[in-house]
Amino acid sequence: MISKLASLAAGLALVAIFARAPVTTRDRAGKPLLPSASLLKYAAKAQLPLIVEYYWLRVINLASMARSPDDGRDVLGMSELIEELDPDFSQVYWFAALNGVIPMSSTVWANAEEGAEHLRRGLRRFPDEHRMTICLAYALWRYQGKLAEAAEVLRAAAARPKAPSYFIPLATRLLVAAGEFRTSREFTREFLENGTLDPRTRRILENREHAIDLEERLVLIETAAKRYLDEKGRPAASVDELVYTGYLPDVPTDPYGGSLLLAPDGTAYSSANPERLKLHE
C-alpha cells in the first residue's frame, strides 16, 4: 500500500511540476516545452492513465481558446505527448489536427503541416479510421492546396474494406481541380475495372470519364479566353473568335454531343451538360 501511495504521489508530483510549462515556456521553434514521454513512462508508469487524462483535459481546454499560432502549437504539442504516452488514444489525432490549425486569413492557416502530420500518424495506427482519412484529405486540400496529395489519400483509403463510396468520386474531382486530368481518368478506370462498387458509385464513375473530358476542354477554353482578355483588353465574343485569332487551335468537341460555348464573363459551358467538376467548400 505504501509503495502504491508513493508511486501515485510521484506521478502527481510530475504532473504538478510540468503543469505550467506547456503554455509559458517554449523552445526556439515556438513549441511548448513538455515533460519527456519516456521519463513519464519510466517514473510514473502506474499513473500514465491519470497523466494522459490530465493532458487530454488541458488539450480540450486550450482548444476552446486557441486563437493564435502559439495557441495551436500548444494544442498540437500536448496532443503529441498524449500520442506518445497512449498511441491507441484514437480521438487525440484528429482532435489535434482540427483544433491546432489556426486560420490567419481566408487563405492562410498556421500549423497546417503539423496538423496533417498528426492525422498521418493516426492513420498509420488506425488505417480503417475513415474519419481521419477525410480529415487529412480536407486538411491537405483546404489548408495547403495539395489537391493531388489529398486525392491520393482518398485513393489509398478507397481500396480498404468498408471505405465510404464517396471517396472514389471525390478523389477524381480533386484531381480534376488540380489539373491532373490524365491521372483522374486512370483512377476512374482503375476502380471501374478492379473495384467492388455499389450500383450508384458505378454509375457515377461510368459518367465520370466524359465529365473529366468536358472539364478539361472547358478549362482549355477559359484559359484561352483569359489570355485573350489580358492581351486584347476586351473579352472574346465566342469560342469561334478564339479559334479565328489563334488562341485556340480548333473548336473543342463536346463529349456529351452538344456545343461548347463562351459566356460574356469568360466562363465556358456545355449546351448539353451544365454540370462542372468543381470543388464545393
Last residue of a domain, one of 127, 145, 163: 145
Instruction: Classify residue 269 by burial, with Cβ atoms within 10 Å: 0-12, 13-18, 19+.
Output: buried
What's the average model confidence in pLDDT over 192-218? 90
pLDDT reported for residue 23: 47
pLDDT reported for residue 16: 54
What's the average model confidence in pLDDT over 60-80? 93
**Is the domain of 115 the same as that of 11?**
yes
With cut-offs at 50, 70 and 90, classify the pLDDT of residue 7. Answer: low
**Is the domain of 2 the same as that of 124?**
yes
**What is the 3 state secondary structure string of 189-208?**
HHHHHHCCCCHHHHHHHHHH
**Is the domain of 179 the same as that of 134?**
no
**Is the domain of 78 the same as that of 29?**
yes
Of 79-83, 116-120, 192-196, the least confident? 192-196
Of 10-24, 75-89, 124-138, the least confident? 10-24
What would the pLDDT profile of 251-261 be if each residue is shown by its tens digit? 999 999 999 99
**Is the domain of 5 the same as that of 85?**
yes
Question: How much is the pTM?
Answer: 0.82
What's the average model confidence in pLDDT over 208-216? 95
Of 28-42, 107-121, 231-245, the least confident? 28-42
Is it the case that residue 279 has pLDDT exceeding 90? no
With cut-offs at 50, 70 and 90, classify the pLDDT of residue 8. Answer: low
What's the average model confidence in pLDDT over 2-12? 53
**Is the domain of 156 the same as that of 137?**
no
**Is the domain of 121 the same as that of 172?**
no
- Say how many domains are in the chain: 2
Last residue of a domain, one of 145, 177, 198: 145
**Is the domain of 190 the same as that of 264?**
yes
The parent domain of residue 173 ranges over 151-281
CATH number, position 38: 1.25.40
**Is the domain of 194 the same as that of 233?**
yes
What's the average model confidence in pLDDT over 53-82? 93
The residue that leads in pLDDT, 198 or 263, is 263
**Is the domain of 100 the same as that of 36?**
yes
Last residue of a domain, one of 145, 169, 199: 145
**Is the domain of 27 the same as that of 132?**
yes
pLDDT reported for residue 93: 96
Alpha carbons 166 and 161: distance in angstroms, whole number: 14
